[in-house]
Amino acid sequence: MIAGYCWPQSGSAGDTVDLMVSATGGSCRVEVLRIGASEQLAGTWEVTVGEQPVPGDCATEGCGWDPSLSIDIDPAWQPGFYLVRLTAGDGEVAEAFFVVRAAEPSETLLVLSTSTWAAYNDWGGPSFYTGGHESSQHRPLPRGFLDKPDPHRYRVARFGQLPRPEVDEYFDNYSYWSAAAGWANWERLFVAWAERNGVSLDYATSLDLHSRPDLLDGRRLYISIGHDEYWTEAMRDHVENWIEAGGAAAFFSGNTAFWQVRFGDDDRVIGYKLDFHLDPVMGTDAEHTVSTMWSDPLTGRPESEMTGVSFTRGGYAHCRRAPKGSGGYTIWRPDHWAFDGLRLIAGDVLGGEPVVVGYECDGCELELVDGLPVARSTGGTPASFEVLGTAPAHLWETAEAPPGMPDSYIGELNWVTERLGGGDTPENRERFAHGAAVMGWFKRGLGEVFTTGCTDWAYGLEHDDVATVTRNVIGRHIDLAAHQSGSPQ
C-alpha cells in the first residue's frame, strides 16, 4: 500500500509544502511534475518511508501523518497544478498534489474545485455521498481523482457506450467517485488547451478563494471548470462582489455552487446536505449558512444569482436515465458575440460530436417568445440573462438512482420538489423533471457572467466550434495575442 497528501494545498515562491506518505517497502520515489500542455519535471527525491496508521475517524479528523518530505517552492516554478507522483519500492503508484500561486496576480484566475473533490473523497471513511457530513482535506484522495487514463473515454457521458467488462475493469482500479470529481476529469483538459492557445493562468484552490478576500484583486477574468459543486458563503461573496465591481466570470462548468458548505476546524469541509436539520447552525443567527442547497429557502440565495442558472432547473444529460439529445447545444441567438467567427443559424447544434452537454447541467425556467426560448426571472435568474443555447436534461427521482449509490440516496427531483415546489408530489415532480442545460450570458453591476451550464464543456475544446466560443469568452477580457509566446508554459 502507498498513499500520500500535501499540506498546505497551495503556496507561492518561498513557501514550503509538506508531503505526508504512508507506504510499505522502506523507500519511495517522489516526482513533482507541473501539469500543463505537457508534463514538466520540477524535481525528484528518494525518501525513506514506513506505514503510518490510518485513524478510524480520518474522514473527519484527517490522518495526522508525519511529514516524509518538505518541498520548498522554487521561485523559478511557474504557477500551476503540481502532481506529486509516489512510487513505492514494489512499483505501486499513488498521487498527491499542490498548487503554485503566482507571486503577483495575473489577469486570469482559475480556481480548482477542491472543495468538491473533498465532498466526494471516501478515502478512509465516508464521503458526503456515503453518509458523511464532514470531510478532512488532510488525507489522500482516491485513485483516479488526480491522474487517470484517457479521460475522454472514461467519463460518465461515455460509460454507457463501453463494454461492461471494460467498465468493471476500470472501476476495479480506480475509485467509483473518480468519474464525478477531481482534477483528472476536467481542469486538466482545460489547462492543456489553454497553454497551447496562449492563455496565461494563475491558480488557486477553493480554500484560497474562501480565505483570501484579496485573491481577485487586479484580475480581469475568473474561470470555473468542470464540476464546481460546493461553495462557501465567503467564496460567493468574494466572486459576486468582484463581478459587481467590474470583474468577468466564465463558468465553463455545471452543477455549479449547488450546495452551500462551510470550512471548519483544520479546514475540513462541512456539508449536511439533505440532513440539514442536523446542522448545528440550525436555529441560530447563522442559520443562513446551513449546508443545504443554495436554492433552498433557508439560504435565501439561489446560485443562479451568481451564474444565471441552477441545477434545480437542469439535471443529468447523456447518461443513465437521462436524455442524450444531440450531445451539444441548440443555438438560438447566433449573432451573440460568443459565436463570432462561427457560421451559425438559429437551430444549429454546437458541441454535439464531442458531447459537451453532460453529465450534470444547470438551467433556468424557460418560455417561448416569438419561437425562441427566453429566461423567466424566477429562482434568482437575472432579468438580463440571455439564453444562447439549450439542451434537454432531467433530474433523477429516487427510483432512478444509478448503480453504486447508497440506499439512503434521495433523488434530486424529489428533494427539489419538496424544498422548492411545496411538496414531493407527482404534480410537482412533473414541473421540475424536464430541465435543460442552458448556455447564457448576463450583466451584473459593472461586470458580466458567461456560463455553459454543463460540466463537460472541456471535452469539446479540441473541436473548432467549442474552442472558438471559449476563445471569444476569454478574449473579450484578455488580449490573447499578447500572451502568445510560440511555446507552451
Please tell me the predicted confidence (pLDDT) of residue 474: 98
Q: Rounded to a whole number, what is the distance in angstroms from the first to the last CA of the chain?
A: 34
CA distance 418 to 423: 4
Q: What is the mean pLDDT of residues 368-374?
A: 96
- All three cell numbers of 186: 476536467
Provide the pLDDT confidence category of residue 408 given band limits of 50, 70 and 90.
confident
Q: Tell me the percentage of the chain whose pLDDT exceeds 70.
A: 99
Tell me the domain boundaries of the chain: 102-260+301-489
Please tell me the predicted confidence (pLDDT) of residue 429: 94
Provide the pLDDT confidence category of residue 183 given band limits of 50, 70 and 90.
very high
pTM exceeding the 0.85 threshold for the entire prediction: yes
> Which pLDDT tens digit goes with each residue over 87-114?
999 999 999 999 999 999 999 999 999 9
Provide the pLDDT confidence category of residue 481 given band limits of 50, 70 and 90.
confident
Task: Decide if pLDDT at 486 tops 60.
Answer: no
CA distance 205 to 8: 10
Q: What single letter denotes the amino acid at residue 219? A: R
Please tell me the predicted confidence (pLDDT) of residue 405: 79
Q: Is the distance from CB of 201 to CB of 109 less than 8 angstroms?
A: yes
> Which pLDDT tens digit goes with each residue over 314-337?
999 999 899 999 999 999 999 999
> Which pLDDT tens digit goes with each residue over 271-305?
999 999 999 999 999 999 999 999 999 999 999 99
149: left (phi over 0), alpha (psi -120 to 50) or beta: beta
> Which pLDDT tens digit goes with each residue over 433-460?
999 999 999 999 999 999 999 999 999 9
373 sits in which H/E element: strand 372-375
Residue partners of 76: CB distance under 8 A and separation at least 6: none
Task: Decide if pLDDT at 483 tops 70.
Answer: no
CA distance 251 to 449: 8
Please tell me the predicted confidence (pLDDT) of residue 312: 97
CA 222 to chain centre: 14
> Which pLDDT tens digit goes with each residue over 206-252?
999 999 999 999 999 999 999 999 999 999 999 999 999 999 999 99
Task: Decide if pLDDT at 485 tops 70.
Answer: no
Please tell me the predicted confidence (pLDDT) of residue 348: 98
CA distance 215 to 210: 9
Residue partners of 35: CB distance under 8 A and separation at least 6: 80, 81, 82, 83, 183, 188, 191, 192
Task: Decide if pLDDT at 136 tops 50.
Answer: yes
Residue 371: Cβ within 10 Å count: 8
Task: Decide if pLDDT at 55 tops 80.
Answer: yes
CA distance 312 to 258: 8
**Least confident stretch, 162-166, 344-348, 380-384, 475-479:** 475-479
Helix ranges (H only) for 96-205 are 114-120, 156-159, 164-173, 187-196
Please tell me the predicted confidence (pLDDT) of residue 484: 62
List beta partners, residue 456.
none
10 Å CB burial of residue 274 (0-12, 13-18, 19+) is: middle
Q: What is the mean pLDDT of residues 37-50?
A: 97
Task: Decide if pLDDT at 53 tops 90.
Answer: yes
Task: Decide if pLDDT at 487 tops 50.
Answer: no
**Cα–Cα nearest to 411, from 323, 326, 322, 307:** 322
Mean pLDDT of the chain: 95
Per residue in 319-351, is it b (16+ CB within 10 Å) or e — as a string?
beebbebbbbbbbbbbebebbeeeebeeebbbb
